[in-house]
Amino acid sequence: MGPKLSSKSSLCIYVLVFLSLLFQPLKARAKDIGNNTDFIHWVSLGDSLNRIARQYLPLTDAITIGELVREIRQLNGIHDSLIHPRQPLLIPLSQSTPVKATTIPKQPDFEARGIYINRFSMACQKMTRLLDRLIVSGGNTVILDGKDMSGRLSYPSRVALANEIGADASPVINDPAKLFHYLHQKGLHVSVRLVLFYDPLLAAKKPEVALQAIGTENQQTEIGKLEWVDPHQEVVQEYNLDIAKELAEMGVDEIQFDYIRFPTEKIFQNANCSLDEQGIPRYEIIADFLARARKALAPYKVLLSVDVFGIVAWGRLEDIRITGQKIEELAKHCDVICPMIYPSHFYSPFQGIPDPGSQPFLLISETCKRFSSFLKDTKVTLRPWIQAFPYGAENFDEEYILEELRALDQSNSCGWMLWSAGNAYDVAWKALDQWNKRSLEGITASSKFFRYY
């Protein structure tokens, strides 16, 4: 046994260890980290809790920076954001390398039961509460914002144009692959929504691709605020395809295209698309883009779904001419058609119904029936969006959502998705609790729902 060290010698050793840790690079210190290790980070000049959390986030169980900051504060007994150079901080690391998600391939007729979660809910603990409640309610799918109606991405991107226009300047999720892995561990199917041709950010930064009204030289706006881009422009198509491929590489299970159409507002109904003068129908432009997307995403084994207006199920030529959404053409190039069947969004009167918003069973039953007739000879799955918000429905309550579910249950659709732009699903949870009790099995809508036929 060697000689016993004096207190002075021990102190010297501790100082040397301290200095070695202080000046050692992160990668060198982190390479041998085991599972669930409280790792010591020595605060440097200019560090903040947010900066430190961003640095270590890929190696922890936290999903957002805010969540990790809260864990660091709790672990270190910090009650505010004040830290100082050379202060040791315990960091709750759980792995030595960043987590990577892998796509879980599904068949097109996978029965998805899900909710939409916007980019703001993704950034806070609200998402965890929503996911836990969804699972308890029998749900198995989450639809997340990848690019929303502002044109902004929810995550840091490697797409050059996204960087150029600042689309990823304010990410709410710094490690999307880790989030997707977390969702997979919870048994959830992960779909990411991309708003395509309704992109005010791209239109403002690249006015040459903005949709213009005939006879004007200025970029046109919708209701004076929201702007569209030309769906046929190569730059626009490539930009959205690059984003879709990037997300597929990160391990999502489904890419869902929203606003895959031309605008319906009057100032745009004769908008000057780059191919209008050649007489090429708008539905061909939309279908050709979708065909390109199908080919580009094929190697990733993700499902490809598209959101469409519920009213296009009536196949009216004017609707097809304006929007470019022709179901027969879209069905050639996707796995899932997702009609937005929100009863309150059908104009009044509609097909002899004076107040469509008060007739959820009727509207959804008839719309699904019409979509099914378009899709009967295809392998495309019909998976509707249904209304989970009170706008335009004076009688909105859990019974309203139950009527929607009953209508879907008696249709040829497969699964459902609940839409609430603000992610307020309390009424939906009550409806699903009742639905899952199975006391409603065999109950059909009363005759009042058919009185307008």
DSSP structure string for 280-343? --HHHHHHHHHHHHHHHHGGGT-EEEEEEEGGGGG--HHHHHHH---HHHHTTS-SEEEEEE-G
| 33 pLDDT more than 90 | no
User: Same CATH topology for 28-93 and 113-446?
Assistant: no
Task: State the pLDDT at residue 218.
Answer: 52
Give the CATH fold of the 113-446 domain: TIM Barrel (3.20.20)
Instruction: Please report the pLDDT score of residue 22 as a whole number.
Output: 45
Residue with tokens 């929007």: 323
pLDDT band for position 287 (cuts 50, 70, 90): very high
Helix (H, G, I), strand (E, B) or coil at 194: strand
104-117: pLDDT as tens digits: 999 999 999 999 99
The yes-or-no verdict on residue 376 having pLDDT over 90 is: yes
Task: Grade residue 274 by pLDDT with cuts at 50, 70 and 90.
Answer: low
Residue 10 DSSP label: H
Query: Which pLDDT score is estimated for 263?
Result: 92
Q: Range with the lowest mean pLDDT among 63-77, 331-345, 401-415?
A: 63-77
Model confidence band, residue 11 (pLDDT cutoffs 50, 70, 90):
very low
Q: What is the pLDDT of residue 276?
A: 52
| Mean local confidence (pLDDT), 57-70 | 89
Name the most confidently modeled range: 13-27, 79-93, 274-288.
Answer: 79-93
**Angle CA 205–206–210, to nearest 5:** 115
Structure-model confidence comparison of residues 52 and 214, the more confident one: 52
Structural contact between residues 388 and 400, judged by C-beta atoms closer than 8 angstroms = no
Domain 28-93 - what CATH class? alpha beta
What average pLDDT does the chain have? 86
Report which of residues 212 and 391 the model is more confident about.
Answer: 391
The model's confidence at residue 27, banded by pLDDT at 50, 70 and 90, is very low
Confidence bin at 271 (pLDDT 50/70/90): low
Summarize the confidence of residues 252-279 as an average pLDDT. 75
User: Dihedral of CA 442/414/111/124: which sign?
Assistant: negative
**Residue 282: its pLDDT value, please?**
94
Q: What is the mean pLDDT of residues 332-357?
A: 92
Position 96 scores a pLDDT of: 85
Tell me the pLDDT tens digit for each residue of 192-218.
999 999 999 999 999 999 987 654 555
The C-alpha atoms of residue 219 and residue 75 are separated, in whole angstroms, by 52
Q: For 6-10, 156-160, 285-289, which range has the lowest pLDDT when averaged over its residues?
A: 6-10
Dist CA 443 CA 40 (whole Å): 61
CB atoms within 10 A of CB 418: 27
Return the pLDDT at 266.
60
CA–CA gap between residue 198 and residue 265 (Å, rounded): 12
Residue type, 410: Q
What pLDDT shows up at residue 98?
Answer: 87
Query: Would you state the pLDDT for residue 273?
Result: 57
Structure tokens at 198: 């309704």
Q: Which of residues 95 and 109 earns the better pLDDT score?
A: 109
Percent of the chain with pLDDT over 90: 72
Q: Categorize the per-residue pLDDT at 37 as very low, low, confident or very high, splitting at 50, 70 and 90.
A: low
Mean pLDDT of 434-440: 75
pLDDT score of 278 more than 90? no
Q: What is the pLDDT of residue 446?
A: 39
pLDDT tens track for 122-137: 988 899 999 999 999 9
Check residue 394 and give its pLDDT: 87
- In this predicted structure, the answer to whether residue 35 has a pLDDT above a threshold of 60 is no
Q: How far is the C-alpha of 94 from the C-alpha of 75, rounded, in Å?
A: 14
**What are the residue ranges spanned by the domains of the chain?**
28-93, 113-446
Which pLDDT does position 223 carry in this prediction? 44
Q: Would you state the pLDDT for residue 10?
A: 41
pLDDT for 415 = 97
High-pLDDT (> 70) share of the chain, %: 82
C-alpha 166: how far from chain center: 19
